[in-house]
Chains A and B, each alone.
Chain A
């Protein structure tokens, strides 16, 4: 018993160290970089700490001496694109995921597989070709074009996760609703949808974060006219670690918030009763 306990504890400690090294350490380093105004080798910590890069990035200060520009427009553009992408993707993913889960659809597995395609190949060749097509339709360099690309990339999470969610809800839940007088539509909205909510939210979050962080597609289709946050991160940060760290942290914030939200929702009371 004793040795088993020691083993478990030491395993947990090793795991914690790993988590620390893999996740917390780089994030701390990011934070330190974002407030380092002067940091020369071989000093372990920055010689001068300050929030100049932060102020510059959020537009509170406009100094030409500091290599950072306001990222406020890029931030709101990214946010707007992500919200639109989530709404459109879920409008496609919920009916598609439901239909693929509940009905016998010819080539259902193949259709599911199709959604995976944009992520199953190296992205550069796909988007180079997409640029040609988008140029033909006048979508290159437009926000609509970028939204389309993000939907293309994000839909795999949308459809696959909603599909799995609807599959996990036993058919008798809806049948029970119909036996007490609910129409098919009402049974879906009152029973299936609330039961699926945690999964649907998780899928929406994945789509949201995918859109917020999307680089390759936006790079080919959107630049130079559509400048999202990841574009700004790559293009205007250059070798400026401080500015890059500020943008990286800002990009992390929505992800962390959403993960916390998922955690809360997935712990919600009724999920326990589904198993």
Chain B
């Protein structure tokens, strides 16, 4: 399988830069997710790769083959649409066979390949059905099979699960990940759902306003966000403003506007620089009195007041007052703390990101 390379892609709509000088290399056999809010440029990027959008400048390569100048039908890219885009006047068989017929394969070969394609997505029995006779999940599988039977060099999936209900979506995520592992097609997956991206991707490219904000593995993106946007987009995050007081070894020491001293991980920061400290709710640990006394004072231990505690089943969602900042935390359901209670909290410095403001 070849790789896919985007070089200096720019696409403007009037004054708006939908894609702002994007460089991206999708490795051979990799599943890379383009993640971002709506309007971040992920769909435009995908359409530039398919050829339905012509970039103002930049080049796109599959392996060594430059594809940015050739029409969509000659690029050898498989595409799965958000709305499935199955042709309603054709049966499942005809939907899958259409592309194979264009390749001028023999009837026998077409029959064989369609059967194989339907086996991959476990829909062997539904050949003669029309799309409207299928459920949403089945339609999605047919769309996937239609792209796969042509054995494309690159597979593009444009929010393929966003029209499915939550349960099915979760199941299909694993199936797509499984299929990718099995066939190893170089894949770009577009979504706005960070959980989906985390489950499915080898690497994630987070986009905002047409710019690449961060590129990395799911765990890198989640636990080492490069900036405030990525930290905020990848899940609920508390931000506390402050200033870098000191940099010692692996850790950056930050003095917040409320005069709290926090230690965390930061990259490329200077003393005195204004920063945001990002703390994820699940990384705030509640300490009992005995635990608190055994830990050295310097390691991010603070007193906080419970403002509100909400039971949400698997955990308790807290709002805490940490000096003048209101922060969210997640706590164990077995030890509920009431509103007004003062608690000792601990934040692991390795789980705390210091981001340039």
Chain A residues within CB distance 8 Å of chain B = 170, 172-173, 175-184, 186, 190-191, 194-195, 269-274
Which residues in chain B, 133-152, are within 8 Å of chain A measured between CB atoms?
146-147, 150
Judge whether B79 is part of the interface by a CB distance below 8 angstroms. Answer: yes
Looking at the complex, which one of A172, A181, A273 makes contact with B102 (CB distance below 8 Å)?
A181
- A181: nearest chain-B partner, CB-CB: B102
- B100: nearest chain-A partner, CB-CB: A180
Among A178, A180, A183, max chain B CB count under 10 A is at A180
Selecting from B3-11, B84-92, B199-207, B237-245, the interface stretch reads B84-92
List the A side residues contacting B102 at CB < 8 Å: 180-182, 186
Per the bound structure, the CA–CA distance linking A271 and B89 in Å amounts to 8
Are B98 and A179 within 8 A (Cβ)? no
Are B89 and A175 within 8 A (Cβ)? no
Take A172-B85, A176-B87, A195-B89 as given contacts and tell me if A181 and B73 are in contact as well, using a CB distance cutoff of 8 Å: yes
Judge whether B256 is part of the interface by a CB distance below 8 angstroms. Answer: no
Judge whether B77 is part of the interface by a CB distance below 8 angstroms. Answer: yes
List the A side residues contacting B103 at CB < 8 Å: 181
Interface size on B, residues (CB 8 A): 26
Judge whether B81 is part of the interface by a CB distance below 8 angstroms. Answer: yes
Take A190-B98, A269-B130 as given contacts and tell me if A179 and B78 are in contact as well, using a CB distance cutoff of 8 Å: yes
List the A side residues contacting B150 at CB < 8 Å: 180-181
List the B side residues contacting A274 at CB < 8 Å: 88
Are B98 and A177 within 8 A (Cβ)? yes
List the A side residues contacting B88 at CB < 8 Å: 195, 270-271, 273-274
Judge whether B311 is part of the interface by a CB distance below 8 angstroms. Answer: no
Are B79 and A176 within 8 A (Cβ)? yes
List the B side residues contacting A181 at CB < 8 Å: 73-74, 99, 102-103, 150
Are A178 and B99 within 8 A (Cβ)? no
Q: A185 to nearest B CB, angstroms?
A: 11
Binary per-residue interface labels of chain B (66-82) against chain A in the complex, 1 for a CB within 8 Å, 0 otherwise? 00000111100111010
List the B side residues contacting A179 at CB < 8 Å: 50, 72-73, 77-79, 147
- A197: nearest chain-B partner, CB-CB: B89
- B77: nearest chain-A partner, CB-CB: A179
Judge whether B52 is part of the interface by a CB distance below 8 angstroms. Answer: yes
Q: A189 to nearest B CB, angstroms?
A: 12
Are A270 and B89 within 8 A (Cβ)? yes
Q: A103 to nearest B CB, angstroms?
A: 14
The 9 A-B residue pairs with the shortest CB-CB distance, nearest first, are: A180-B99, A273-B132, A273-B88, A179-B79, A176-B85, A270-B89, A172-B85, A270-B88, A181-B102
Which residues in chain B, 146-176, are within 8 Å of chain A measured between CB atoms?
146-147, 150
Q: A102 to nearest B CB, angstroms?
A: 13
List the B side residues contacting A273 at CB < 8 Å: 88, 130-132
Binary per-residue interface labels of chain B (92-112) against chain A in the complex, 1 for a CB within 8 Å, 0 otherwise? 000000110011000000000
List the A side residues contacting B72 at CB < 8 Å: 175, 178-179
List the B side residues contacting A195 at CB < 8 Å: 87-89
List the B side residues contacting A180 at CB < 8 Å: 73, 98-99, 102, 146-147, 150
Are A175 and B79 within 8 A (Cβ)? yes
List the B side residues contacting A172 at CB < 8 Å: 81, 83, 85
- B79: nearest chain-A partner, CB-CB: A179
Binary per-residue interface labels of chain B (236-266) against chain A in the complex, 1 for a CB within 8 Å, 0 otherwise? 0000000000000000000000000000000
List the A side residues contacting B132 at CB < 8 Å: 269-270, 272-273
Binary per-residue interface labels of chain B (316-345) against chain A in the complex, 1 for a CB within 8 Å, 0 otherwise? 000000000000000000000000000000
Are A194 and B89 within 8 A (Cβ)? yes
List the A side residues contacting B98 at CB < 8 Å: 177, 180, 182, 190
Per the bound structure, the CA–CA distance linking A175 and B146 in Å amounts to 13
Per the bound structure, the CA–CA distance linking A176 and B50 in Å amounts to 10
A-B contact pairs, 26 of them (CB 8 A): A172-B81, A175-B72, A175-B85, A176-B79, A177-B98, A179-B77, A179-B78, A179-B79, A180-B73, A180-B146, A180-B147, A180-B150, A181-B73, A182-B73, A182-B102, A183-B71, A186-B102, A191-B87, A194-B89, A195-B87, A195-B89, A269-B132, A270-B130, A272-B132, A273-B88, A273-B130
